[in-house]
Amino acid sequence: MAELVAAVVQMRSTMEPSENLVALEQLVGEAAGRGAAYVQTPEMTGAVCRDRDHLLANLKPEQDDPIVKAAATLARRHAIYLHIGSTAIRAPGGMAANRAFLFGPDGTRVESYDKIHMFDVDLDNGESWRESRTYVPGERAALARFSVDGADVRLGFAVCYDMRFPELFRAEALAGANILTAPAAFTRQTGEAHWHVLLRARAIENNTFMIAAAQGGRHADGRETYGHSIIIDPWGKVAAEVDGDEPGVAVARLDLSAVDAARGKIPNLKNRRPFATDFTARAS
């Protein structure tokens, strides 16, 4: 049986990376101590900071970023694959990149991914977000392949708002992904409405595992995130979840053969057919 022991780490990151490094080390150590070979942290692991000027003034380039350095060390210390859901990295033009990282058990970087879709929305009760003011959107999907105890892992990347764009996950599934990911800092308002249903849908429609670590609770910058870090199997069943919004860890043992089993039952990836998209009105 090709199994992967996976963990999601739920955090309540503050505006200061030095404070979040302490929580990161403790929670990753807990996940590794519970047997996880792959550990995922949330979006904005390094800092949840709505103050654009404060965030940009304290950014580091990738090679100097404290979260990146610590993640490489932690992956090597615990001999795990450590997936930093994302952290803000200095980008050209005085902007930031919302960048995810995967580090291998030897501490080397396996893959990185920049969030593609910017959360530019106006919600109820006056809640409004404009990520495009601060972040440069990514331009490429990413897929990492590695082996753990005989399990052939093919991991597709996404971050938070990306989960509302199913074409990204479909492209990764067609490229061979058997695990999809969506680490997030989902707002409480949207999380209560859509978190579980969106993640279960992405798993079901692609017959893959879905792993999504999350930020949870009220943060120092005033925002409130939903939590409920989760691991979902290819049939849409919740395999593990951090209940609520408190920091914590959830672990699940993933039988990767379940992906082929689900695709055998409902081979929708194979049953796709091309179709025309000429929507010009036709006279009846």
The values of phi and psi at residue 244, to 5°, are: 95, -155
Active site residue 43: yes
Which of 43, 49, 172, 241 is an active site residue?
A: 43
Instruction: Write the CA distances from 246 to 28, 31, 89, integer angstroms.
Output: 15, 15, 26
CA 181 to chain centre: 5
Active site residue 160: yes
Which of 3, 25, 115, 237 is an active site residue?
A: 115
The values of phi and psi at residue 138, to 5°, are: -70, 170
Q: Which residues contact 226 (CB under 8 A, 6 or more apart)?
A: 186, 187, 188, 190, 191, 192, 195, 214, 216, 245
- Cα angle 44-35-150, degrees, rounded to a multiple of 5: 100
Q: At which residue do the structure tokens 């849409």 appear?
A: 236
Which of 19, 69, 160, 241 is an active site residue?
A: 160
Residues acting as catalytic residues? 43, 115, 160
